[in-house]
Amino acid sequence: MIISHITLKNWRNFQSADVNLRNRVFIVGPTASGKSNFLDVFRFLWDIAKPGGSLQKAICDRGGVPEIRSLTSHGSPNVEIEVSITETDTNETLWRYAIGITQSDYDNPYLTHERVWKKHKQILNRPDDNDIKDKLRLTQTHLEQVGLNQPFRDISEFFNSIWYLQLIPQLIRYPAAFSGPSIPDDPCGQNFLERVSKTPEKTRKLRLKKIEEALHIAVPQLKHLTDTKDESSTPHLEAIYEHWKQKGARQREDQFSDGTLRLIGLFWALLDEDSLLLLEEPELSLNIEIISKLPALIHRLHRQKGQVILSTHSADLLLDKGISGEEVLLLSPGPDGTVVRVASSIREIRALLEGGLSIADAVLLPETVPQDIHDLGAS
Amino acid sequence: MSSSTSIIVVFEDDLSKAVLKKILPDKYTYIWRSGRGFGYIKKNINEYNRTAKTVPVLVLTDLDRRECAPTLIEVWLPFHRHNPKLLFRVAVREVESWVLADRDRFARSLGIKGTSIQVKVDEIDDPKEYLINLARRSNKRELREAIVPGKGSEADHGPDYNGYLTQFIREYWDIQEAICNSPSLKRVIKAVENFQPEQ
């Protein structure tokens, strides 16, 4: 399943947004145009639906509704999110889920509506009679309550598959060196090695083998990638690094390069089945050779099973002519907040793509660089 | 993208973009593309021509070492294959000649005599080298260091060459004056004026 359509109102930078999404989504736009805020909508849905998650916590962790609400919205309108969930094989829309949230000065945030459609039939429409009798009920979604979400459990489970990843190699390498509470849900990979070691052996071995094959493009010297444990049962990754010594040297993750570690983490996540994977600038610390192959690798490793939504600043990544304009969301900041458009919906960009140019040539300049960056001599 | 007609402008570098920004008429909306140099435009010229089937595209490149503009165009993309919405123009020899063509102002900015710059700027064989050599004679140290490559450096130009020249173009460069000394610039401006992208 994938999220095939999203509508936003007053979400952070976006006064409104209404776009279709494909299996792969490439979000491009200048710095501070709201790429992370766009990804955060999906994290927000996950924060509600995950085990132990709730609407109140999801909002509280973000600093309350006033922080989530678009700065360009006038007065105190509601924040609204609506998504359509489609079966990938049949292209049929199975579900639609919509919520509206607001918060008055001294109250907890509460729902202005929560609606669910199964195919075309609406099966939930809140506020209902019970909500009107007891307004406190509107501080919780039905989505987050196992006792109430049974008729649309699929949505809850799907949102629970959302995985946000922004791997920081140093955290993977030295998880124990960073004391204090770990970042909730581990987006940076501090517990990545533990995650690998807890995966059932058969799946784990198969994935590491696939990762080794995919890694071959970037680090051909790296062979026999396996997992292991040291005397104190701490999990590690290990590989043979072939060099001038005939037999090659055995290396552990603390000796892998930043790029190698990020790739291993990224490939692992891509191989995770049926997930909606959110990636923030996956190109960081990777060499050009591998960056240019990422779009194809994402397709190959994630197959048709799941969805990958990523933000990027990399022209090398977007040079891949296998990326269609329908897969690219272009974020353009303006006086009324950031506008989100599917790249192929813009006539000139479509003409450049039809002319045979890549997304990097058709989209990247100048929409994704501040208007006068050339004048600043910063290009 | 906007209610006025949009033209995709394919330019070589910061310098040509700065010049184009000054010479293009206000009545259109411009979508700037490339900025990745001579070779890049050459490689993609067919793609830009195909784009011009549906939307207007203006391509400006430098002549560099080739004999004349029509030859370059014929080699890259023969005239008979140009789509009607494509305007493909060549600067003789480099955009730098057009900058030099406003002789008085440019010389003044360097703190040298206006007569130091030859009148027929289009005939300068290597305008960039010519410009850098002029800058060597400037008594303004900061400017010299920006434009001229350091001693023993194999760099093509100084560390802030583009920054200095684009600032000059933006703030001081006078088109009318430059047209008088550069027939090549005059031809390009005329071609842009006669370009009818709506058709």
Q: Give contacts of A370 with chain B, Cβ < 8 Å.
A: none
- Flag whether residue A348 sits within 8 Å of chain B, measured between CB atoms: yes
Which residue's entry shows tokens 């430059």? B178
**Per-residue pLDDT tens digits for A298-318:** 888 876 668 999 999 998 999
Same domain, B68 and B108: no
Is the pLDDT confidence value at B138 over 60? yes
Which of B5-41 are b and which e, b meaning 16 or more Cβ less than 10 Å from the residue's Cβ?
Answer: ebbbbbbbbbbbbbbbbebbeeebebbbbbbbeeeeb
Q: Give contacts of A365 with chain B, Cβ < 8 Å.
A: 32-35
Is residue A288 very low, low, confident or very high in pLDDT (cuts 50, 70, 90)? confident
Same domain, B62 and B72: yes
Q: Which residues 6+ apart lie within 8 Å of A302 measured at CB?
A: A23, A270, A271, A277, A308
- Would B1 be classed as within a structural domain? no
Which of A154-164 are b and which e, b meaning 16 or more Cβ less than 10 Å from the residue's Cβ?
Answer: ebbebbbbbbb
Nearest to B14 among A355, A356, A379 (CB): A379
Rg (Cα) of chain B, in Å, rounded? Answer: 17
Q: Among A76-80, B24-28, B40-44, which stretch is predicted with the lowest mean pLDDT? A: A76-80
A377 in Cβ contact with B14 (< 8 Å) = yes
Q: Among A60-64, A281-285, B24-28, B65-69, which stretch is predicted with the lowest mean pLDDT? A: B65-69
- Would B37 be classed as within a structural domain? yes
Same domain, B187 and B175: no
Q: Which candidate, A195, A21, A7, places its Cα nearest to that of A83? A: A7
Q: For position B75, what pLDDT does the model report? A: 86
Q: Which comes out higher in pLDDT, residue A179 or A44?
A: A44
- Would B188 be classed as within a structural domain? yes
Is the pLDDT confidence value at A126 over 60? yes
Is the pLDDT confidence value at A13 over 60? yes
A291 in Cβ contact with A260 (< 8 Å) = no
A95 in Cβ contact with A85 (< 8 Å) = yes
Q: Which residues 6+ apart lie within 8 Å of B70 measured at CB?
A: none
| Angle made by CA atoms B49, B53, B59, in degrees to the nearest 5 | 35
- Section B161-177 average pLDDT: 95
Instruction: Give which of B41, B46, B51 to mutate to test A binding, by max A Cβ within 10 Å.
Output: B51
Interface touch B52/A354, C-beta < 8 Å: no
- Section A122-151 average pLDDT: 96
- Flag whether residue A352 sits within 8 Å of chain B, measured between CB atoms: yes
A169: left (phi over 0), alpha (psi -120 to 50) or beta: alpha
**Per-residue pLDDT tens digits for A47-87:** 999 999 999 999 999 999 988 988 776 666 899 999 999 98
Interface touch B1/A347, C-beta < 8 Å: yes
Shortest Cα distance, chain A CAs vs residue B6, angstroms: 8
- Would B86 be classed as within a structural domain? yes
Q: For position A254, what pLDDT does the model report? A: 85
Distance, in Å, from the CA atom of A330 to the CA atom of A134, rounded to the nearest integer, reads 43
Which residue's entry shows tokens 């051909």? A220
Q: For position B198, what pLDDT does the model report? A: 76
Same domain, B165 and B107: yes
Same domain, B119 and B141: yes
Same domain, B28 and B60: yes
* β-pair type (A110-118, A121-126): antiparallel
Contacts 24+ apart (CB under 8 A), B129-134: B130/B96, B130/B100, B131/B96, B131/B99, B131/B100, B132/B157, B132/B158, B132/B161, B134/B107, B134/B110
Expressed as residue numbers, the domain containing B78 is: 6-92+183-194
Q: For position A247, what pLDDT does the model report? A: 66
Is residue B199 very low, low, confident or very high in pLDDT (cuts 50, 70, 90)? low
Shortest Cα distance, chain B CAs vs residue A309, angstroms: 25
Q: For position A324, what pLDDT does the model report? A: 93
Q: What is the pLDDT of chain B when averaged over all its residues?
A: 90
Backbone angles phi, psi at B95, to 5 degrees: -55, -25
**Tokens at A349, concatenated:** 């960009």
The three-class DSSP label of residue A257 is coil
Provide the H-helix boundaries in chain A: 35-49, 55-60, 65-68, 129-133, 153-160, 169-173, 192-198, 201-215, 258-271, 288-291, 294-302, 315-318, 347-354, 359
Distance, in Å, from the CA atom of A188 to the CA atom of A172, rounded to the nearest integer, reads 8
Is the pLDDT confidence value at A145 over 60? yes
- Would B60 be classed as within a structural domain? yes
Same domain, B112 and B48: no
**Per-residue pLDDT tens digits for A329-374:** 999 998 889 999 999 999 999 999 999 999 998 986 544 444 444 3
Same domain, B78 and B106: no
Interface touch A374/B35, C-beta < 8 Å: yes
**Structural domain total, chain B:** 2
Neighbours of A320 (CB within 10 A): 18
Residues forming beta bridges with residue A342, ordered by sequence position:
A329
Shortest Cα distance, chain A CAs vs residue B153, angstroms: 20
Size of interface A-B (CB pairs under 8 A): 68
- Flag whether residue A374 sits within 8 Å of chain B, measured between CB atoms: yes
- Would B199 be classed as within a structural domain? no
Same domain, B82 and B137: no
Q: Which candidate, B4, B102, B47, B67, places its Cα nearest to that of B59? A: B47
- Would B52 be classed as within a structural domain? yes
Is the pLDDT confidence value at A206 over 70? yes
Interface touch B14/A377, C-beta < 8 Å: yes
Provide the H-helix boundaries in A272-367: 288-291, 294-302, 315-318, 347-354, 359
**Per-residue pLDDT tens digits for A90-125:** 889 999 999 999 988 778 899 999 999 999 999 999
Is residue B121 very low, low, confident or very high in pLDDT (cuts 50, 70, 90)? very high
Same domain, B30 and B73: yes
A77: left (phi over 0), alpha (psi -120 to 50) or beta: beta
Same domain, B176 and B188: no
- Would B136 be classed as within a structural domain? yes
| Angle made by CA atoms B47, B52, B56, in degrees to the nearest 5 | 135
Q: For position A88, what pLDDT does the model report? A: 82
Q: For position A367, what pLDDT does the model report? A: 47
Task: Find the helix packing angle between B103-110 and B127-136, rounded to 10°.
Answer: 40
Q: For position B33, what pLDDT does the model report? A: 86
Same domain, B147 and B164: yes
CATH number at residue B70: 3.40.1360
